[in-house]
Amino acid sequence: MNFCVLIPARMASTRLPGKVLLDVGGLPMIEQVRRRALESGAARVVVATDHEEVMACVQDFGGEAVATDPSHHCGSERLAEAARLLALPDEAIIVNLQGDEPLMDPALLAATAALLETHPHCPMATAAVPIRTWSELANPHVVKVVMDRQDRALYFSRAPIPWDREHFPLDDDAPLPGAYWRHLGLYAYRSAFLQTYAAWAPTPLERGESLEQLRVLEHGVGIAVHRGSAAPAAGVDTAADLERLRAHFSSSPKEM
């Protein structure tokens, strides 16, 4: 199927400023991310950034970048501006790949984009993978999602959902008493809906959980969810994450 990948890339990261330009496996992180996007089969890959250094870096590697406003509340708003600047048609399928996810599985990008064809009433799609342990389920940095029988999102939360009142909380070595799903920060949208999203103000649940996708559910719009089998390696938020990622690339030269 035909889709494009847009990569939001801010310089002013709260916990690790300038992280998208830091060296990972001999390349800037944003270039590693861009290469994963190209491996997905996307027809076009564009970095949407708020900083001229990021734009110059992408262009130095022969990539495409577009300058966006630094004041956006979230990545989806940044991509809405990028889609307008690139004059993408309303029916275009856009995949949002975060600029700090250099180990994202390219197949997940394609699978998430494909959901918009199999779920024609959902203008947005995302992905989730199984949660295996109580510590992961209880971790507020792990976003959870519950779905209906048609694999549409019912809710996203940093809290453990659904809450099993007969069993929770658990010791970490106890098996989970059901199926629980971790949300991955990967999205696909139809271009026209991305503009609709950006026109909405942030909503109470979105602000409370700090989860941009809740803006969509609060407006009664469906989000299709691809059920993956295993999570890709985590993205980079801290200096410790960066060292973990560098160690991965040092032991896997083929990733370069």
| Beta strand segments in 10-55, E | 23-24, 27-28, 44-49
Is the pLDDT at 256 greater than 50? The verdict is no
Side-chain-facing half-sphere of 153: CA atoms under 13 Å = 32
Greater confidence (256 vs 121) lies with 121
Q: Are 207 and 218 in contact (CB under 8 A)?
A: no
pTM: 0.88
| Structural domains of the chain, ranges and CATH numbers in brackets | 1-104 (3.90.550.10), 122-183+191-232 (3.90.550.10)
Higher pLDDT, 140 or 24: 140
Using DSSP, how many helices (H) and how many strands (E) does the chain show?
Answer: 9, 11
Tell me the per-residue pLDDT of 179-200, one tens digit each, with 9 for 90 and over: 999 999 899 999 999 999 999 9
- Helix runs in 119-180, H state only: 134-138
Bridge partners of 8? 48
